[in-house]
């Protein structure tokens, strides 16, 4: 066969493959039509320009396909970099940044400012209409102070550690998101909340995403991370877990470290009304589309 014929056949095959993929995605698009999907965006994927542009196109595609995506983002590395530039030292306890008054001002500046607007700009550049929010807007996230329990090995008793302006969601007021979802706008939310007495609190982005997903009755909560998902004792990916199985894996020590708070967020979200939560690797190209629009998905799915 002449090279020109081979080239034409390869092009035809590629077009047919794209058509096949689009056709197979149809039932999944129908499943999620007009449903809410909350995506927690963070990790190294957020710092990769090419992955960031692809993520933005994928989120815009979700909106065009009839879904209602809500993006909640983190920004720990960027906060740390800014604090270092300003000569402000940070301490951590149990994975949470101890946040004094000066630090929380920087946290808000970075999260609700530069990072939030960068993601909004990427979504708009991809053809979407995005608007940046934080938990203060419309009293979206009413926060309460978090106290971290630590074990003192000398006295063998637990003590409460004051983390400063670190909070957790006390109440989600979704009215502003209800209004936005009736439009073609994609909300992008920074995990900064406000207490009933007017104090600003830094909140873990996974926790905020889970609380918002539960309040919105989301079909899916997608937690983009820097790992492939939940791994078993053999180091292999666990593709699906029930809430009971997830609790058992935490209890027997199979799951430890930073995956524990993520799984706790998953469990709370599912028990709060989210149909299913997925922990997936944000470094994988088009991870969101693979999870929602293909048969096998990606990462680890947790449901009742």
Indicate whether 280 belongs to any domain.
Answer: yes
Indicate whether 148 belongs to any domain.
Answer: yes
Q: How far apart are CA 18 and CA 14, in angstroms?
A: 6
Indicate whether 20 belongs to any domain.
Answer: no
Global pTM reads 0.88
pLDDT at 2: 61
Indicate whether 151 belongs to any domain.
Answer: yes
pLDDT at 134: 97
> Number of folded domains in the chain?
1
Q: What is the CATH number of the domain that holds 299?
A: 3.40.1160.10
3-state secondary structure 235-246: CCECCEEEHHHH
**Are 278 and 302 in contact, with CB atoms under 8 Å apart?**
yes
Range of the domain at 226: 32-303
Indicate whether 295 belongs to any domain.
Answer: yes
Indicate whether 104 belongs to any domain.
Answer: yes
In sequence order, the 6+-apart residues with CB closer than 8 A to the CB of 90 are 80, 83, 97, 98, 103
The ranges of the chain with pLDDT < 70 are 1-10, 12-14, 93-96, 150-157, 159
Indicate whether 4 belongs to any domain.
Answer: no
Indicate whether 26 belongs to any domain.
Answer: no
**Are 101 and 157 in contact, with CB atoms under 8 Å apart?**
no
């Amino acid at each position: 066969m002449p090279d020109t014929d081979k080239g034409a056949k390869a092009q035809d095959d590629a077009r047919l493959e794209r058509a096949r993929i689009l056709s197979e995605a149809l039932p999944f698009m129908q499943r999620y039509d007009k449903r809410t999907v909350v995506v927690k965006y963070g990790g190294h994927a957020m710092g990769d320009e090419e992955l960031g542009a692809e993520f933005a196109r994928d989120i815009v595609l979700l909106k065009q396909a009839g879904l209602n995506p809500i993006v909640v983002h983190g920004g720990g590395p960027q906060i740390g970099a800014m604090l270092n530039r300003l000569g402000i030292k940070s301490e951590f306890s149990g994975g949470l940044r101890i946040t004094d008054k000066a630090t929380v001002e920087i946290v808000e500046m970075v999260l609700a400012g530069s990072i939030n607007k960068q993601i909004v700009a990427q979504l708009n550049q991809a053809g979407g209409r995005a608007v940046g929010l934080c938990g203060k807007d419309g009293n979206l996230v009413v926060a309460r102070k978090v106290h971290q329990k630590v074990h003192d090995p000398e006295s063998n008793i637990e003590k409460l550690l004051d983390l400063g302006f670190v909070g957790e969601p006390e109440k989600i007021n979704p009215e502003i998101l209800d209004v936005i979802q009736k439009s073609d706008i994609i909300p992008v939310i920074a995990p900064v909340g406000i207490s009933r007495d007017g104090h600003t609190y830094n909140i873990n982005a996974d926790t905020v995403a889970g609380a918002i997903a539960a309040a919105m009755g989301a079909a899916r909560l997608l937690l983009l991370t820097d790992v492939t998902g939940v791994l078993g004792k053999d180091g292999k990916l666990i593709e699906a877990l029930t809430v009971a199985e997830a609790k058992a894996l935490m209890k027997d020590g199979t799951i430890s470290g930073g995956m524990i708070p993520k799984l706790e967020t998953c469990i709370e979200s599912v028990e709060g009304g989210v149909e299913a939560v997925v922990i997936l690797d944000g470094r994988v190209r088009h991870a969101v589309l693979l999870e929602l629009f293909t048969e096998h998905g990606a990462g680890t799915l947790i449901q009742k």
